[in-house]
């Protein structure tokens, strides 16, 4: 019996690979497993290669996992295009379409000898059982159910629900394909059985992805307007809101381009509505000037940047963490805007609510840095307890503050000024991109400009003291530190568990507030640290270098960074940590012996 299984599969567009993964994760979720599914595509609009990987476990799943336990290739050329995204090792069971003509001892996997290899006539089985090779994905689900004891009954229920309206013939054909796959697995048993252990308890779980979670959180937060433009991999946020927000009195505008999308959102915010836009790196580049307008006009706005590989069009369908510099610094003039990052699908809800609260509280644009993996991967999550959230609305002027003496940008102790909206008697003011005085009238003098800059920065000071936007794990006194953010945080959490089991004392920091740097919190965490790693999926190691700008980092704290589409595995992080621990021990620094 096994308690954790990672299944990866790849094929050509139209093979139904992603559909198979979605059916599998939906099925195991109903059986009580914790599960996560990531998917990846070539950048072609139509056709090309596609893949997915599903990790399921009897315990909570923190990341998509490392080396595959099961690799399924309908086409070797397509499978190999995913490289490190679908790593095969000596413990992997390889299942592939026998029509590829590759002998089991001639697999195109240099230097790797899998545990077991099964060439299976998947296409022929689909045609024989369902009379169409479009049922290949259902045959695959039958093979998985037969060999690993998972998903079969749940998949059958899902097929009946999904295909009920398409007629009994199609449903019966898919049922036969599922049965054919199960029978093949039973007739060709594994040498070493790997049947999944059943979960001890079956509790209700949500199965969703980060983009839908973001959209749901926006509606919960009171968002009444979304202005945007389709761009991979953020488009699903707009699609979700287009379906749902009107039920709560909100509106969606799919604009003619990225600039118009954010421009409409800025206008909605000026009109008194909680507003949002979403994009990816190329769109963020176009939205930058409007972000500056929202900053100087002190208008609340939430901008979601679902990161993908860059620069330029880059890798549209692959994840990366290389937009942090862009989120923090892409502005002319002196601009400070908060940057938040979720660490998983469930966390996306809380971070989105926090972004709306922060935007409204401080009358500022707030950037959410999601990434392709979190936004499009599916996870089983516990139902969201919305009772724990407090929603914030912008500070509006009292009647006594309105009229001819209303000063929209009045200097206050906090730096936050009451904001009116069109139609509010006595609340008229000019909101422009030019520097202004307290009433919003244009100015060109350096003294008032300096005061307004100081006001706009000072009002954000409380954010730097927030400790609830950071998660820490491990031994708080450990001399070895690990720092990771975004989707890499789940890999780091698992690496911490493994390192602790190996006797390495280490502590982990997962910042969800990336900018501005919370100096006091970071200094407290790094106190006593002699070495460690800042792990991130960007060539430059952007968070590490922002930290160096602000903090006096321990000499032994190093950047461990790589470009997108090259996922980290817990084992390699642990290996680097053990190397650092050994170096500290050999140098005579205080470091416990490994067990």
Residues counted in the chain? 595
The answer to whether residues 236 and 377 belong to one domain is yes
Residue 303 in contact with residue 279, Cβ under 8 Å?
yes
Residue 236 shares a structural domain with residue 362: yes
453: region left, alpha or beta (phi > 0 left; psi from -120 to 50 alpha): alpha
Pair 399, 384 in one domain = no
CATH for 119 = 3.40.920.10
Same domain, yes or no: 378 and 400: no
Q: Are strands 251-254 and 225-228 parallel, antiparallel or unpaired?
A: parallel
Residues 21 and 157 in one domain: yes
Same domain, 486 and 433: no
Structural domain includes residue 591: no
Does residue 595 sit within a domain?
Answer: no
- Tell me which of 372, 388, 404 is where a domain ends: 388
Q: Tokens representing 260? A: 């118009």
Q: What is the pLDDT of residues 479-505, one digit of tens each?
A: 999 999 999 999 999 999 999 999 999
Answer whether residue 202 is part of any domain.
no
User: CA-to-CA distance for 282 and 305, rounded, in angstroms?
Assistant: 10
The Cα-based distances of 415 to 248, 395, 452, 553 in angstroms read 32, 12, 9, 31
Integer CA distances (angstroms), 230 to 16, 258, 283, 326, in order: 24, 8, 9, 20
Check whether residue 353 and residue 461 sit in a common domain. no
One domain, residues 501 and 578? yes
Beta strands 49-57 and 4-12, pairing class: antiparallel
User: What domain range is 411 assigned to?
Assistant: 395-465
The DSSP annotation for 66-90 comes to SS-SEEEES-HHHHHTTGGGS---T
pTM of structure = 0.94
Helices 136-148, 168-187: axis angle to 10 degrees equals 40
| Whether residues 223 and 369 fall in one domain | yes
Burial status of residue 493 (CB atoms within 10 A of its CB: 0-12, 13-18, 19 or more): buried
Handedness of CA 98, 101, 106, 108 (dihedral sign): negative
- Claim to verify: residue 418 and residue 542 sit in the same structural domain: no
Where among 413, 436, 465 does a domain terminate? 465
Report if residue 199 sits inside a domain: no
Measured between alpha carbons, how far is 7 from 509 in angstroms, rounded to an integer?
29
Same domain, 32 and 166: yes
- Cis link prior to 464 (omega < 30° from 0)? no
In a structure prediction context, what are the per-residue pLDDT tens digits for the chain, which is 595 residues long?
Answer: 899 999 999 999 888 999 999 999 999 998 899 999 999 888 776 667 899 999 999 999 999 999 999 999 999 999 999 988 999 999 999 999 999 999 999 999 999 999 999 999 999 999 999 999 889 999 999 999 999 999 888 888 888 877 777 888 888 999 999 999 999 999 999 999 999 999 988 887 899 999 999 999 999 999 999 999 999 999 999 999 999 999 999 999 999 999 999 999 999 999 999 999 999 999 999 999 999 999 999 999 999 999 999 999 999 999 999 999 999 999 999 999 999 999 999 999 999 999 999 999 999 999 999 999 999 999 999 999 999 999 999 999 999 999 999 999 999 999 999 999 999 999 999 999 999 999 999 999 999 999 999 999 999 999 999 999 999 999 999 999 999 999 999 999 999 999 999 999 999 999 999 999 999 999 999 999 999 999 999 999 999 999 999 999 999 999 999 999 999 999 999 999 999 999 988 876 654 444 3
Distance of alpha carbon 135 from alpha carbon 163, whole angstroms: 13
Among residues 486, 473, 556, 554, the alpha carbon closest in space to that of 514 is found at 486
pLDDT digits (tens, 9 = 90+) for 34-88: 999 999 888 776 667 899 999 999 999 999 999 999 999 999 999 999 988 999 9
Query: How many domains are there within the chain?
Result: 4
CA angle 313, 38, 351 (to 5 degrees): 80
Given a contact cutoff of 8 angstroms between Cβ atoms, the answer to whether 320 and 565 are in contact is yes
What are the distances in angstroms from CA 284 to CA 192, 277, 328, 338, 443? Answer: 50, 10, 12, 15, 29
Residue 491 zone, left/alpha/beta (φ > 0; ψ -120 to 50; rest): alpha
**Strand, coil or helix: 22:** helix
Please, are residues 64 and 38 in contact by the beta-carbon 8 Å criterion? Answer: yes
Residue 510 in domain: yes
How far, CA to CA in Å, does 503 sit from each of 146, 172, 481, 558?
Answer: 39, 54, 14, 21
Q: Is residue 382, in this structure, part of any structural domain at all?
A: yes
Same domain, 375 and 410: no
| Domain finish residue from 414, 444, 465 | 465
In a domain, 118, yes or no: yes
The answer to whether residue 146 sits within a structural domain is yes
φ, ψ at 404 (rounded to 5°): -65, -20
Joined together, the tokens standing for residue 321 give: 């963490």
Alpha-carbon span 319 to 118, nearest angstrom? 31
């Amino acid at each position: 019996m096994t308690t954790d299984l990672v299944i990866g599969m790849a094929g050509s567009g139209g093979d139904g690979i992603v559909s198979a993964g979605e059916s599998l994760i939906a099925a195991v979720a109903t059986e009580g497993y914790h599960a996560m599914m990531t998917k990846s595509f070539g950048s072609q609009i139509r056709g090309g290669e596609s893949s997915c990987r599903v990790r399921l476990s009897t315990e909570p799943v923190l990341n998509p996992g490392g080396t595959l336990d099961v690799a399924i290739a309908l086409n070797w050329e397509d499978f190999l295009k995913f490289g490190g995204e679908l790593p095969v090792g000596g413990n992997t069971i390889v299942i592939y379409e026998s029509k590829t003509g590759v002998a089991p001892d001639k697999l195109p996997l240099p230097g790797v000898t899998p545990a077991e290899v099964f060439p299976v006539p998947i296409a022929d089985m689909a045609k024989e059982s369902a009379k169409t090779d479009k049922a290949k994905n259902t045959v695959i689900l039958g093979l998985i159910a037969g060999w690993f004891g998972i998903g079969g009954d749940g998949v059958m229920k899902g097929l009946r629900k999904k295909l009920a309206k398409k007629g009994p013939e199609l449903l019966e054909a898919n049922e036969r394909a599922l049965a054919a796959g199960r029978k093949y697995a039973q007739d060709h048993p594994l040498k070493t059985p790997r049947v999944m252990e059943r979960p001890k308890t079956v509790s209700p779980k949500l199965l969703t992805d980060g983009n839908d979670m973001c959209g749901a959180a926006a509606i919960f937060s009171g968002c009444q307007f979304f202005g945007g433009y389709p761009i991979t991999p953020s488009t699903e946020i707009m699609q979700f809101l287009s379906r749902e927000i009107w039920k709560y009195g909100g509106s969606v505008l799919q604009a003619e381009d990225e600039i118009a999308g954010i421009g409409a959102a800025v206008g909605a915010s000026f009109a008194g509505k909680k507003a949002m836009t979403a994009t990816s790196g190329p769109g963020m580049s176009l939205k930058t000037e409007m972000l500056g307008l929202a900053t100087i006009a002190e208008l609340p706005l939430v901008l979601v940047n679902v990161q993908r590989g860059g620069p330029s069009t880059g890798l549209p369908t692959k994840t990366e963490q290389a937009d942090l510099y862009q989120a923090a610094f892409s502005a002319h003039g002196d601009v400070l805007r908060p940057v938040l990052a979720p660490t998983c699908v469930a966390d996306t809800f809380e971070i989105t609510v926090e972004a709306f609260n922060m935007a409204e509280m401080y009358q500022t644009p707030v950037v959410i840095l999601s990434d392709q993996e979190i936004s499009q991967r599916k996870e089983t999550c516990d139902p969201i307890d919305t009772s724990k959230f407090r929603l914030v609305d912008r500070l509006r002027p009292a009647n006594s503050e309105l009229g001819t003496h209303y000063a929209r940008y009045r200097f206050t102790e906090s730096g936050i000024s009451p904001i009116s909206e069109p139609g509010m008697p006595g609340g008229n003011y000019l909101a422009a991109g030019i520097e202004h005085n307290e009433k919003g009238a244009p100015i060109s003098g350096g003294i008032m400009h300096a005061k307004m800059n100081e006001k706009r920065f000072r009002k954000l000071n409380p954010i730097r003291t927030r400790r609830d936007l950071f998660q820490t794990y491990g031994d708080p006194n450990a001399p070895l530190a690990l720092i990771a953010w975004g989707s890499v945080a789940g890999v780091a959490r698992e690496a911490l568990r493994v390192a602790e089991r190996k006797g390495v004392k280490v502590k982990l920091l997962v910042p969800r507030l990336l900018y501005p740097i919370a100096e006091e919190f970071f200094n407290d965490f790094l106190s006593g640290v002699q070495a460690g790693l800042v792990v991130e999926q960007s060539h430059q190691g952007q968070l590490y270098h922002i930290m160096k700008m602000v903090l006096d980092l321990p000499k032994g704290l190093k950047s461990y960074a790589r470009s997108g589409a090259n996922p980290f595995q817990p084992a390699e992080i642990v290996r680097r940590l053990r190397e650092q621990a050994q170096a500290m021990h050999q140098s005579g620094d205080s470091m416990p012996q490994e067990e």
